Structures are given as structure tokens and as C-alpha cells.
Structure 1
Amino acid sequence: MDPKNIEAANPKSAPLQKQYPEGQWPTGLYDRCDDPSNCITLSSCPCVTFGQIAEIIDGGDRSCGISGLVYYAMGNIHCEWLYAGLYRTKLRQLFSLPEAPYGDRFVHCCCCPCSLSQEYRELKNRGPIPP
């Protein structure tokens, strides 16, 4: 059955996953408050959000906890932006996204919570993270 017919037959069913075009970030770098629960998590413990992002990008090869701990440890020597920048690059390559508005490591160095929030929303919007 055609997905449009399913939605028309049952209007109370959950809407189909919105498709986002390749080569575009669907949310802005500074739209951090668009997801209030993630905004709170990022404010209190960004290593959790980073761990979730890394686990999905790595395809489950490394757990959320391990990635989060590495991010936390690198944060203690003020180098978490290097590690997180690598994952932003992987995410961009995965979805053919532009390195915009700035370079991956530069974005993480200057505003890591904004960058992590954008990456989390990107994965959530494209499907791998449950809403």
C-alpha cells in the first residue's frame, strides 16, 4: 500500500519521517533551544549527547558510555573540540553536508554545545535517534 494512502486512511497515525535533502543542514547552528530536553542535557553533561552521536556515527562499534568518557577526559585537557570535530566531519560525510558556516573543529572550539546540538538534531531528524 502507498504510504500516502496509509496516512489518508488513518489520520491519527504518526506522520511519516520527513525527508531532508542531501547537502543541507535542516537546522541552524544556533537553534539549540529547538529541542529543550537535549538543551538541558547539553547544559549539564555534554558528554552524554556526544556519546550518543558518536555511537550512531560509529554504527555501534563504540558504546555511548565509552565515547562520552573519552570526550570528558579530553575536556579535562581542553581538547574535546578536536575529538568532537572528527565526528562532525564524519557526520557531514555521511549526509553530504557542507562544512558551513565554519570548519568542523573551529565550530566545536568556539561553540561546542551549539555544534553538538545541531549534530544531535541532524541525526534525530534523519531517523537514527528516537524522538
Structure 2
Amino acid sequence: MYLKEEEGAGPAAATGFPMSGGATSGALAAVQAPAPWSTGLFDCFDDPGNCCVTLLFPCITFGQVAEIVDRGSTSCGASAALYTLLTWTGFHCIYSCFYRSKLRAQYGLEESPCADCCVHYCCELCALCQEYRELGNRGFDMTIGWHANTERQQGRAAATMPPQMHAGMAR
């Protein structure tokens, strides 16, 4: 509900709510509607190489996604090994759904087509492929890991910055 000034009544009381009709400002502007995924859940064949790897070795795709989502705090190998161990117990879907939730939170993605755990329980391989494609579409080279991606991005930033000018001779 937006408060409006009544004619001759002076300004409305401060409520913390935006005073204009549709514009948002302040804290409310920070809350945005979730963005859609860059590819659909069943667009696995858009990247046939990753589709085949995920079909045969889902632990590899999961490890690559987990390393990027964790920003390098866990390695691809460690995440893949834990995923493989959990596959034998049947809890791998729960483990991987937490990473989908983390990915969504980092990039403000919508929870679609249903809850993260349902997606991973019903369509585990498609979900892993979608997460892999999403990170790839956001500029990550999934084959080189977090640290190499950050080095590459820092190299690009250094290449685009103007050279530093040093002060002239001083006595």
C-alpha cells in the first residue's frame, strides 16, 4: 500500500514504503524477482560433450559445478569423490540439490520447474547438465576450475586497465 499526499495536508508520514506509484527505491529495490535459467532443464543436447560425460560419469560434472559454486574452497576431485560415495548410499540427490540451491542464490535464479530437491531426485542428470551450462553461459570455463577462471578474469581486467603513469623526476 502506498501513501499519497492529500491536497493541502502536507507530506505523508514516513513509513519506510516507497511513496511513488510503481517505482521502487532503497531496500525494496534490492529485492528483485528471480531470473530465469539461461537454458531449460531438458536442453541437455545443447552441449552433447557434457551430456555424454554426465551420462557416463555424473560425478565429474558435479565436481566441476561444485568447485565453481564453492568458489574454489572444495576441489573438483574432492566433490566428485564425495558424490560418488553418496551415490552408493542413494543420498547423492540430496547432496547435489544443495549445490543447485547455492547456485540459484548466487545468481538470483528462479526455482523451476519445481523445488531443487525434486529436480535432482527426478532428473538428476538433466539438472547437473543445466547447472553446468548455466555456469558456462556466465563465462566460466568449466574444464579449468575456479582458480584458473579467476586468474583468467584478473588477466582480462589487467589488460583493459590503462597503464599507470609515474610521476616525473623529482629532486
Match 2:65 to one of 42, 53, 77 = 53
2:85 corresponds to which residue? 73
Structure 2: runs of 5 or more not aligned: 1-33, 144-171
2:14 corresponds to which residue? none
Contact 2:135 2:142 in 1 (8 A): no
Give the TM-score of the pair, scaled to structure 2.
0.62
Highest Rg: 1 or 2?
2
Structure 1: runs of 5 or more not aligned: 1-21
Give the TM-score of the pair, scaled to structure 1.
0.81
Q: CA deviation at 1:129?
A: 2.2
Cα RMSD, aligned residues only = 1.2
Q: CA deviation at 1:128?
A: 1.6
* Alignment: residue pair count: 110
Q: Deviations over 1:72-125 (max 9, x none)?
A: 111001110000000000000011001111100110000100000000000000
Q: Deviations over 1:13-61 (max 9, x none)?
A: xxxxxxxxx7111100000111011011011100000000000010111
Identity %: 46
Higher helix share: 1
Runs of 4+ aligned residues of structure 1 deviating over 3 Å after TM superposition are none
Match 2:46 to one of 18, 31, 34 = 34
Contact 2:83 2:92 in 1 (8 A): yes
